[in-house]
């Protein structure tokens, strides 16, 4: 499965990711999820990529993930291996990012 988060704000993208991630687990699907977040146009490495990987790191007991640059030479992708549901993000999520 693939989740494309291009062009979304950080808050919307993290919410969309969490909803789709949890829906897959409820359906019994624990296969890898290829999350496309892009390289980032800011020149700083991508706010969306950074925020997603921070979220994944905070919930390391619920999933595993591999940065795309590790095996695929593609920093615009992160591969997530789900194990347990993630908490639903707050609708007032403040990230300080676009």
Predicted confidence (pLDDT) per residue in 21-53, tens digit = 999 999 999 999 999 998 876 655 689 999 999
Compute the chain's Rg from CA coordinates.
Answer: 13
Domains and CATH numbers, the chain: 2-35+47-82 (3.30.1370.110)
Helix (H) / strand (E) element for 33: namely strand 33-36
Question: What's the confidence (pLDDT) of residue 43?
Answer: 56
């Amino acid at each position: 499965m693939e989740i494309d988060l291009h062009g979304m704000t950080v808050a919307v993208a993290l919410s969309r990711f969490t909803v789709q991630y949890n829906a897959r687990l409820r359906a019994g699907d624990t296969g890898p999820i290829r999350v496309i977040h892009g390289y980032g146009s800011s020149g700083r490495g991508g706010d969306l990529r950074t925020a997603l990987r921070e979220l994944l790191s905070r919930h390391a007991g619920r999933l595993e993930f591999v940065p795309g640059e590790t095996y695929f030479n593609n920093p615009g992708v992160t591969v997530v291996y789900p194990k347990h549901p993630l908490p639903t993000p707050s609708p007032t999520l403040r990230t300080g990012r676009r």
